[in-house]
Amino acid sequence: MLAVVPGDARLDVQAVKELLAGTYAAFAGREKAEELAGSPSGTVLPFSYHPKLELIADPALLDAPELFFNAARLDRSIALATDDYVRLACPRLAPITVRQEESVPQAGYAIHYEPLFKVLETMDVQALIDKVDEPWYNQTLIQVGDVWVRLGVMQGEFHWHKHDEQDEFFFVLDGRFRIELEGAEAVELGPRQAFTVPAGMLHRPVVPVRSAVLMIEKAGVRATGD
């Protein structure tokens, strides 16, 4: 599907899965996206010309009299009257978004990107773990060169996601940590075990008991995926 959503919201992958009665939903890889859209990544227009690419738009778009679509340049946009867009594109309308301010609480994720410590500071990681009361806590501890060292204290299931250009390293401090992988067997990790998910691979952490995990990834990564 090709999703068209307001700029102040994010796609709710779970809602898409339920809407299409699927068992799995995730963002397509660049090659597949370009094949279906018929245009290079970054220039995909909010129209579908492929019989296998269904166009679905969030109804919140209709609240605005005019829509602006990025044209893959910072100094260019495409403007259309909302009524004209609906008439020309004929999208299926369905609620498929979560507002940015709602996204973390609704998903149950407490994600903090700003490093908590600086060099020459002692980090009491265990004390930080003991203070966490969120079900899914993700905190950047420190930036070392161009990578982040992050702490996760979590229990439950994360959504399927990937990082297009970055590997992701997991080191389990305590607990049990399962990583489900697209096209490969899931990996089960216990204390003092580690695993690296390569860039571009869809994966999903599933954590049956409260666990603490260290992650190493390139600075600037979005924990929720690309």
On average, the pLDDT of the chain sits at: 86
What is d(CA 208, CA 175) in angstroms, rounded to the nearest whole number?
Answer: 9
| Global pTM value | 0.54
| Spatial contact of 205 and 178, defined as CB atoms under 8 Å apart | yes
Q: What is the pLDDT of residues 163-207, one digit of tens each?
A: 988 899 999 999 999 999 988 889 999 999 999 999 999 999 999
Q: Domains in the chain, start-ordered, CATH in brackets?
A: 2-101 (3.90.960.10), 110-218 (2.60.120.10)
Tokens found for residue 204:
């999903």
Q: What is the pLDDT of residues 55-113, one digit of tens each?
A: 999 998 888 899 988 765 656 778 889 999 999 999 999 999 876 444 333 356 788 89
Q: Euclidean distance between the first and final Cα of the chain, in Å?
A: 17
Residue 56, classed as helix, strand or coil, is: strand
Residue type at position 95: P
**Residues in Cβ contact with 157 at an 8 Å cutoff, skipping those fewer than 6 apart:** 204, 205, 206, 207
| Spatial contact of 175 and 211, defined as CB atoms under 8 Å apart | yes
